[in-house]
Amino acid sequence: MAADLRPIARALLSVTDKTGLAELAASLARHGVELVSTGGTADVLRKAGFAITDVSALTGFPEIMDGRVKTLHPKIHGGLLSVRDNAAHEQQRLLHAIPLIDLLVVNLYAFEAALARGATPEVIVENIDIGGPAMIRSAAKNHESVAVLTDLADYAGIARELDACSGALSFATRRRLAAKAFACTAAYDSAIATWFADVEFPETLTLAATRVQKLRYGENPHQQAAAYRLNDGRKGLLDAEQVQGKELSYNNLNDADAALEALLEFPRDEAAACVIVKHANPCGVATGATILAAYLKALRCDPVSAFGGVIAFNRGLDGETAAQVSKLFTEVILAPGADTEARSILAAKKNLRLLLLPEMFHGKTPSRTVKSIAGGLLVQSRDATGIDEASLICMTKRQPTEPELRDLGFAWRVAKHVKSNAIVFAKDGATVGIGAGQMSRIDSTRIAARKSLDAAEALGLRTALSQGAVLASDAFFPFADGLEAAAEAGASAIIQPGGAMRDVDVIAAADRLGLAMVFTGQRHFRH
């Protein structure tokens, strides 16, 4: 037997999730491993026909305090922590009749499940596992001699290795399992700490995430990357079903997430909506009577930028819409569902990724966002604010008309998802020009106007799409020049936060130009 192989003679099994337990026990029994177990786990194994040694028989001490104390015993932790090649440890072990434990199989009380189902604080506290994490840490610390299994996904691989190595496990396997074990207890403690803190910004921020997949590369081919799911209960992009297409890349996921976040501004019961994103910025957003109508309106805003982008819909994809979308080179399509005809049409586009997320409007919304900086993290409450017409303050002599008000609300929702400085022209429930990510607001306004003119020329129109449109600005206009550029591009009404030192000059310019302008009192920077 290779020097790094350790035979498994005794295993302690104590699991909350019994999935795959009988199969694992069978593989252990096949190699003559003694099975030691606790409470419900022992009952399940006995009913499956296995000979089981109760933990209380091994320790000589009964389970007490409603099972709170059963494995917290020197004979358990001595059996896990004893260094096999240490003569002093061996002498003490024999003196105190401590049996060795070579394999620990544990998964923990379902604390997060109790949280998710809205259990009472008393029930939640009883779902804080003490003995399990203690044993896991003991076994993982002593991985030179002991193997610890905390992930059901590893059961089959361990069974195969036991068969291949005559009932033994390698050091590489024990070390890999130890790493997973410490990650398991860290994530578990993180969830408990977060619940106890019960504040948005605790003194110590703990985050737990599980790797979903390794990505081909990061933003650029020389960068490595992976995607992780936060263990916060929210349904998100990483829960989507990928029906077809190449493996998702870092940029695919980043753009698809931007599309999803923008799409969530338009609940499916309001109207059909479509969001087209390129490089994490919306380049076309629209609502319509059908998703096909919404798509065609969104596409005409900037058909050049839409090439190679991500398209998201708030309703199920049908064949007619899929036929239109398939005319454009698209990296990713995201929707709650897709009918048979749509899937068949898109199947011809082998590299197109089709993601289905039925629960996109039903998931838990996180209360904060996290961004990495050099040496730390920036954490903030989520920009989840909305507006209603009653909260808007008209600052000009002319009041916006009802159609203008509707478009102002639409443009404001879109501007929230455009990188600052953000300018959005909108008309009839669709963007008609977007300026994003510029260092000055006047430049963003000019770019949005230029985009509007380019789109009109592509459609064979003589006037820019921004003629008669409304405009949303994610922050105040510091000078009147931005407002004047908006009016020159054809804007008839403006929505902006207000609050600039020169608001008086900007309002006077709006009155002089015959614009209606409303203030929201809130800003939507997005960096």
CB-based contact 500:478 (threshold 8 Å):
yes
The identity of residue 166, as a single letter, is S
Phi and psi at residue 173, to the nearest 5°: -65, -45
Residue closest to 168 by CA, chosen among 33, 51, 353 = 33
The identity of residue 299, as a single letter, is L
CB-based contact 365:386 (threshold 8 Å):
no
CB-based contact 410:469 (threshold 8 Å):
no
Phi-psi region of 193 (alpha: psi -120 to 50; beta: other; left: phi over 0): alpha
> Quick one: angle between helices 39-47 and 21-30, nearest 10?
70
**What is the spatial distance between Cα 16 and Cα 18, in angstroms, rounded to a whole number?**
6
DSSP string across 483-524: HHHHHHTT--EEEE----TTHHHHHHHHHHHT-EEEE-S---
Residue 490 CB contacts under 8 Å (≥ 6 apart), including other chains: 452, 463, 464, 466, 467, 468, 469
Q: Are strands 103-107 and 10-15 parallel, antiparallel or unpaired?
A: parallel
Residue labelled with tokens 């910025």: 281
Q: Which residues are catalytic?
A: 141, 279
Residue closest to 215 by CA, chosen among 199, 226, 228 = 226
CA distance readout (Å), 424 to 127, 273, 282, 284, 436: 50, 17, 10, 10, 9
Long-range contact set of residues 266-273: C-beta below 8 Å, sequence gap at least 24? 266/314, 266/413, 267/314, 267/361, 268/314, 268/315, 268/336, 268/361, 271/429, 272/313, 272/314, 272/315, 273/313, 273/314, 273/315
CB-based contact 288:298 (threshold 8 Å):
no
**What is the spatial distance between Cα 369 and Cα 197, in angstroms, rounded to a whole number?**
17
